[in-house]
Structure 1
Amino acid sequence: MYELRGVTKRYTRGKESVHALDGVDLTIADGDRLVIQGPTGGGKSTLLQMLGGLDRPTSGEVVLDGTDMARLSEARLTKVRSENIGFVFQSFNLIPTLTAQENVETALVPLGVKVKERRERAVEALRSVGLGERLGHLPDEMSGGQQQRVAIARALVKQPKVLLADEPTGNLDESMRDEIMDVLETMWKELGLTFIMVTHDSSLAKKAPRLVTIRKGKITVKENAAS
């Protein structure tokens, strides 16, 4: 479970102080699926970075399973991220010189997983997202949708509790968008993940059980009854 308590993130731009997050309180239960929306610069990505331990708040607590990530040493925070949190980004972030299988294996290296098991788990993860025939392909030999599937497999191969996605369909056309969302929602259901996604796409937001809207660092939470 996540608990955010009074989370503030302040940046300084010249002489101006900008509150990307302004006293955010939010509880996210294990297995929740929620979408974060809001205008550009409103704090969406900052909130996701806090949840992922990629940034620290200026003040407040970001508690995951009883541990305040804001207070951890960098080494402990890196360990929490490596073991518990998977990330999927808009730009895929694949290593261009590595095959699909090798890209997925990179997520297991920090966990000390041995080579044979890394290979087996990477193959299984790629098969689970429909890429069993693309193990040896480089990123530039795959479509955008296939590259994002590799990125999803890389995020899930370490068996995280939490999956964070920042505009995961932003670089894809409508058909590829729907395909990737089907994969993400299937993984959420089958693996019992806590799934949190930032998107500007209102059609996706309407399908989420919970919608967090953030404007000028303040949030509102809506339960989508139709979900």
Structure 2
Amino acid sequence: MYKLSGVTKRYSRGKETVDALRGIDLVIEDGDQLVIQGPTGGGKSTLLQMIGGLDRPTSGSVELDGVDLGRLSEAKLTKVRSENIGIIFQSFNLIPTLTAQENVETALVPMGTKTAERRRLAAEALTAVGLGERLGHLPSELSGGQQQRVAIARALVKKPKVLLADEPTGNLDEGTRDEIMALLEGLWQEYGLTFILVTHDSAIAKNAPRLATIKQGLVTVTEQRQAVRL
């Protein structure tokens, strides 16, 4: 479970101080699906970075299972991220000289997984996202939707507790967007993940069980529908 208490993030831009987050209080239960929506510059990606342990709040606390991420050493925080949190980005962030399978394997290297086991788990993860026949393909040989599937497999191969997605469909056309969202929804249901997604897309936001609308660093949470588990 996540518990955010009074989370503030303040940046300095020259002589100006900007409050990206202004005292956020938020609870995200295990297995929840939460979509974060808001205008550009409203703080949604900053909030996701706090949740993912990619940045630390100026004040307040972000707790995951009772552990304050902001108080961990960098080494311990990296360990929490590598073992418990999978992250998907809009730009895929694949290494162009590595095959799909090798890109997925990179998520297992920090965990000390042996080579043969890395290969097996990466192949399984790619098969789970519909790319079992594309293990040896480079990113340049894959479509945008397929590259995002590789990124999803990379995030899930370590079997994380939490899946974070920052505009995962932002570079995709509408049809591919729907395919990727259906895939993510199915994986959330199948693996019992805590799934937190940032989007500017109202079509995605309106279908979320819980919607956190963020504007000028402040959050309003709306319960929109009952989450459905398979």
Tell me the TM-score normalized by structure 1.
0.99
Identity of counterpart residues, as a percentage?
77
- Unpaired stretches in structure 1, ≥5 consecutive residues: none
Deviations 1:3-26 (A, max 9, x none): 000000000111111000000000
Where does residue 195 of structure 2 map in the other structure? 195
C-alpha distance in 2, partners of 1:121/1:182?
A: 22
Match of 1:98, SS?
coil
C-alpha distance in 2, partners of 1:129/1:156?
A: 10
Where does residue 70 of structure 2 map in the other structure? 70
C-alpha distance in 2, partners of 1:161/1:135?
A: 25
Q: Is the 8 A contact 2:32 2:194 kept in 1?
A: yes
C-alpha distance in 2, partners of 1:89/1:46?
A: 13
Where does residue 14 of structure 2 map in the other structure? 14
Deviations 1:164-200 (A, max 9, x none): 0000000000010001001100100000000000000
Return the offset for 1:212.
0.2
Q: Is the 8 A contact 1:35 1:208 kept in 2?
A: yes
Return the offset for 1:150.
0.1
Q: Is the 8 A contact 2:7 2:23 kept in 1?
A: yes
- Which amino acid counterpart does residue 180 of structure 2 have in structure 1? I
Deviations 1:57-81 (A, max 9, x none): 0000000011000000000000000
Where does residue 141 of structure 2 map in the other structure? 141
Match of 2:19, SS?
strand
Runs of 4+ aligned residues of structure 1 deviating over 4 Å after TM superposition are: none
C-alpha distance in 2, partners of 1:182/1:100?
A: 21
- Which amino acid counterpart does residue 189 of structure 2 have in structure 1? K
Where does residue 93 of structure 1 map in the other structure? 93
Q: Is the 8 A contact 1:207 1:226 kept in 2?
A: no
Match of 1:45, SS?
helix
Where does residue 117 of structure 2 map in the other structure? 117
Match of 1:23, SS?
strand
Match of 1:11, SS?
strand
Match of 1:103, SS?
helix
C-alpha distance in 1, partners of 2:171/2:203?
A: 16
| CA RMSD in angstroms, aligned pairs only | 0.7
Tell me the TM-score normalized by structure 2.
0.98
- Which amino acid counterpart does residue 122 of structure 1 have in structure 2? A
Where does residue 126 of structure 1 map in the other structure? 126
Match of 2:110, SS?
helix
Where does residue 179 of structure 1 map in the other structure? 179
- Which amino acid counterpart does residue 14 of structure 1 have in structure 2? G
Match of 2:120, SS?
helix
- Which amino acid counterpart does residue 62 of structure 1 have in structure 2? V
Q: Is the 8 A contact 1:3 1:64 kept in 2?
A: yes
C-alpha distance in 1, partners of 2:186/2:104?
A: 19
C-alpha distance in 2, partners of 1:115/1:189?
A: 29
